[in-house]
Chains A and B, each alone.
Chain A
Amino acid sequence: MKMVSTSSMGTLPKQVKIVEVGPRDGLQNEKNIVPTAVKIKLIDMLSEAGLPVIEATSFVSPKWVPQMADHTEVLKGIQKFPGINYPVLTPNFKGFEAAVAAGAKEVAIFGAASELFTRKNVNCSIEESFQRFDVILKAARAAGIAVRGYVSCVLGCPYEGKISPAKVVEVTKKLYSMGCYEISLGDTIGVGTPGVMKDMLSAVMHEVPLAALAVHCHDTYGQALANTLMALQMGVSVVDSSVAGLGGCPYAQGASGNLATEDLIYMLAGLGIHTGVNLQKLLEAGNFICQALNRKSSSKVAQATCKL
């Protein structure tokens, strides 16, 4: 009779830092434009829930992302709780400058492990995108502003299909060496499964310290939590998620979006892993934004919650 290997859990981290991307990645992919006041209230509620990092907005041209047109007002309008970081996306130097002017203390830049995706998304090659990032990173360093790097398509690309772990390593290593303190590895279209996640992380961990890695799993094929569990078993301790599972998938109409923060917290709590997040307050924030968006929450925990 076989005994269950007590090491079947791997070495799970004792605490996990959750990077809440609902207000940016989540809302960015929602059809209905959310009023500025609602965005501000959402972020304030998320701060009250104890999330340590909340991605507030994106300093991108409203021509490309109308939902983020009010980026300056949002960043200026939110309450900045002590101990909580409010990074903002800055796709280019212009955005970076606007972000700094609006009070940003941390910014994020977006790379991709796919040439085609980079071309379609930001209209240049991966190499050219690095040159743009370099400008931002240099300026950020001079201004004492931390920079988080994202790598999209780490487990697959909507245009190229399969992405080799080697390519992910190359891009991640470059961003890290250029000065990003943390790299979030994103399964942008949610096609990854635990085995592929493991292979990709094994490769990346050889070149970039584990403590500098985060995972950002999309739930398009229902794999997000399982992939995240695999990443935790590999030693990753930073996970991106989105309240209420906000955000759809621009590449798969009707598909779900990000991993729901509530469902992630539920799992981590069950595993005895500390996050510092108050699930009840998080549920309230999710409920608030879903009402504002007039949509059902994509979080199973939110859906299951008894209103007694």
Chain B
Amino acid sequence: MGNVPSAVKHCLSYQQLLREHLWIGDSVAGTLDPAQESSQLSGLPEYVKIVEVGPRDGLQNEKVIVPTDIKIEFINQLSQTGLSVIEVTSFVSSRWVPQMADHSEVMRGIHQYPGVRYPVLTPNLQGFHRAVAAGATEISVFGAASESFSKKNINCSIEESMGKFEEVVKSAKHMNIPVRGYVSCALGCPYEGSITPQKVTEVSKRLYGMGCYEISLGDTIGVGTPGSMKRMLESVMKEIPSGALAVHCHDTYGQALANILMALQADTPFRSSVDHPCDRVSESVAGAAHGC
């Protein structure tokens, strides 16, 4: 998720993570009457849009640098599977994310299939301009629901990051380029531990308000469980239409698919978005960082 440092050295101990995430009580919603129950359980969206993040989020966390032509071939193959959105690369400084150093070549080199969208990450205005020059027609910006994560990840506070994103979004709007917003640490932070749904809502609302057409809510370190997913979504959906929301679940603790199922059940309308790393080998920040 985002431009995460390759080594998260100051993560919480496992014991603390457990303490933070052992919710007491709550979670049982009360009895449904039979009519409600059958329609609720079948109340899944008819269609789910999958946002394939393997070439960016996936490869970014792989140790081995993948050659440019392999990245291009990989994305071309993904384009032929029917995926409608494939996140191609990140226009970030190669000093921070060496894997994405070939961003322009990859963007220029892929075959852009009709009907498929190819967003790219642009952490700042400089990245945005490079992305546009390389032919990008959709971009993403990365916020976080945690101050510590924001500071360690992009070296500024949440407020400062919003300022930077506003610049990017303004420029993007000018050029009719849609912007997707990400919110990292939506269900927990490697530094702060527990993250309140209210904070996630606040950051999501800022990004949505400034013009992001969709907000991807990321369980960056995979600590979430269906209960915390539900609570977080309940809060965010009070302020942002569910049609503008996506979930991005990491499988660090094996919870990703169950969390996604919960999100799908959360009264989503006709269409919803799920971010899907095609290749789960690299897994999440936490997995790569701990090297456990």
Contacts and interface: CB of A to CB of B under 8 A. Distances in A.
Interface of A: 1-12, 14, 194-195, 198, 222-223, 225-226, 228-230, 233-234, 260, 263, 266-267, 269-273, 279, 299-301, 303-308
Contact of A222 (B25, B26, B257): B257
A121 B30 CA distance: 43
Given A269-B225, A272-B27, A301-B253, 14 more contacts: A2-B237, A2-B269, A9-B227, A12-B28, A222-B257, A266-B225, A267-B225, A270-B255, A271-B227, A272-B25, A279-B18, A300-B253, A306-B11, A306-B13
Contact of B230 (A8, A11, A279, A305): A8
Interface in B254-292: 254-255, 257-258, 260-262, 265-267, 269, 286-287, 290, 292
Task: Select the residue from B25, B32, B258, B269 with max chain A CB neighbours within 10 A.
Answer: B258
A69 to B, nearest CB: 32
Interface stretch (B36-44, B100-108, B132-140, B146-154): B36-44
25 contacts: A1-B242, A4-B234, A4-B266, A6-B234, A7-B29, A8-B267, A9-B226, A9-B230, A10-B41, A11-B32, A12-B29, A225-B255, A233-B41, A263-B253, A267-B226, A267-B255, A270-B21, A271-B23, A272-B27, A300-B253, A300-B254, A304-B14, A304-B287, A304-B292, A308-B14
A1 B237 contact: yes
A137 B223 CA distance: 44
A208 B286 CA distance: 43
B234 A270 contact: no
Contact of B252 (A6, A222, A230, A304): A304
A229 B255 CA distance: 10
B24 interface: yes
A263 B225 contact: no
B186 to A, nearest CB: 14
Contacts of A8: 29, 40, 43, 230, 262, 265-267
Contact of A5 (B13, B40, B255): B40
B257 A305 contact: no
Interface string B221-260: 0101111101001100111111000000001111101101
Given A3-B267, A233-B41, A270 B228 contact: yes
A305 B21 CA distance: 14
Nearest to B44: A195
Contact of B237 (A3, A222, A263, A271): A3
B255 A263 contact: yes
- Range of interface residues on B (Cβ < 8 Å): 35 or more
A303 B37 CA distance: 37
Interface in B126-168: none
A270 B227 contact: yes
Contact of B226 (A195, A229, A279, A303): A229
Contacts of A222: 257
A1 to B, nearest CB: 6
A191 to B, nearest CB: 15
Nearest to A225: B258
B31 interface: yes
Given A10-B41, A300-B254, A303-B292, A272 B26 contact: yes
Contacts of B22: 269-270
Contact of B258 (A10, A12, A229): A229
Interface string B64-93: 000000000000000000000000000000
A303 B291 CA distance: 9
A6 B290 CA distance: 36
B241 A2 contact: yes
A267 to B, nearest CB: 5
B25 A10 contact: no
A14 B28 contact: yes
Contacts of A273: 27
Contact of A7 (B40, B226, B238): B40
B292 to A, nearest CB: 6
Contacts of B261: 194, 226, 229-230
A308 B32 CA distance: 44
